Amino acid sequence: MTDHTERDAMTYDVIIVGAGPAGLCAGMYAGRGMLKTLIIERGLPGGELLNTEKIEDYIGFESILGRDLAEKMANHALKFGAEIITDTVDAVERTADGDFTVTTALEKVFRAPAVIITAGGTPTKLGVPGEAEYAGKGVSYCAVCDGAFFRGETIAVVGGGDAAVEEADYLTRYAEKVYIVHRRDRLRASPIIQERAFKNPKIEFVWNKVVEAIEGDERGTQSLRLTDTVTGDESSLAVTGCFIFIGFTPNTGMIRGHYEHDAQGYVVTDTHMRTSIPGLFAAGDLRVQLTRQITTAVGDATTAAIAVEKYLTERREHSKVQAAAGAT
């Protein structure tokens, strides 16, 4: 990046990467704090809310469509002065003077003394026919979000790691029967999690099978088409829900420079949502935490936005002290 480009960069008090629940909430709080705020989102505001048909676990709304909640959150952020633009962030980089430059796919450059990363993460998809078609109509990537919609039904969980087996156990509180479909003849989950699943009478294991397609009709998901990894035989498994837990990747690729993270790549923060890079904050699904829900995302974002206010105040006061010392 040239000096000329940096000089021409549009300047804000804080830049927020991502406009899911965390990003929009952070934008609303930053705007209320009278900070000049920019939110950059690669798609429409709302993030994963736009992929969720109905939400029934967000306090204050017994039931609301995901797109409606997304619209309400975006309007709330805009009301308090946050600016939202559509673009993809390519790089977030801390400069020698302690500010950040944020560059985008449309070759725009923005500058701010603080950045909040709320870009979430991406569930690993099976990539099979029917997966996209029945997303929100039986296909899900979040047991806590959608489990209650499957009371008394027969469903499948695809995967064999800790997340898959834990979520299968959780789903038995709603479903009448839960199949765990795994491509091998043994699980990757930790022994204590496996033991709990093996003892659960509602769980049945479908070994050495991969999902070739998710099939259904106007009512939604109705079955999975399976192939045996040993014999090659095909079969069908009748289920009305398919929960996919084969991986999740936090969207942190735009961060330039080393930051503290766990073995899965999730960003480590302190209780103020500060990362190991001064001035860089993180909130929502890409952060190391116990659970990833709308409620936890907006809680993180509230803390991050208020922490940014304090960080900027302390930074200004420090600059004044330095300037006064230089004048003597």
Say which of 145, 242, 285, 300 is annotated catalytic. 145
Whole-angstrom CA distances from 86 to 25, 83, 104, 105, 106 are: 17, 10, 10, 10, 10
Task: Decide: 238 and 245 in contact? Cβ < 8 Å.
Answer: no
Q: Please list, in sequence order, all residues whose beta carbon lies within 8 angstroms of the beta carbon of residue 71, skipping any fewer than 6 positions away.
A: 45, 46
Say which of 25, 146, 169, 285 is annotated catalytic. 146
Handedness of CA 23, 24, 29, 34 (dihedral sign): positive
Classify residue 218 by burial, with Cβ atoms within 10 Å: 0-12, 13-18, 19+: exposed
Query: Which of these, 144, 84, 139, 95, lies nearest to 257 by C-alpha position?
Result: 95
Classify residue 291 by burial, with Cβ atoms within 10 Å: 0-12, 13-18, 19+: exposed
Characterize 141-169 residue by residue with b for buried, 16 or more Cβ atoms within 10 angstroms of its Cβ, and e for exposed.
bbbebbbebbeebbbbbbbbbbbbbbbbb
Examine the residue annotation and report whether 242 is marked as an active-site residue of this protein. no
Examine the residue annotation and report whether 25 is marked as an active-site residue of this protein. no
Say which of 57, 90, 99, 142 is annotated catalytic. 142
Q: How far apart are CA 91 and CA 113, in angstroms?
A: 15
Estimate to the nearest angstrom the gap between the alpha carbon of 139 and the chain centroid: 17
Examine the residue annotation and report whether 146 is marked as an active-site residue of this protein. yes
Residue with tokens 């304090």: 310
Task: Decide: 49 and 72 in contact? Cβ < 8 Å.
Answer: no
Residues marked active site are found at: 142, 145-146
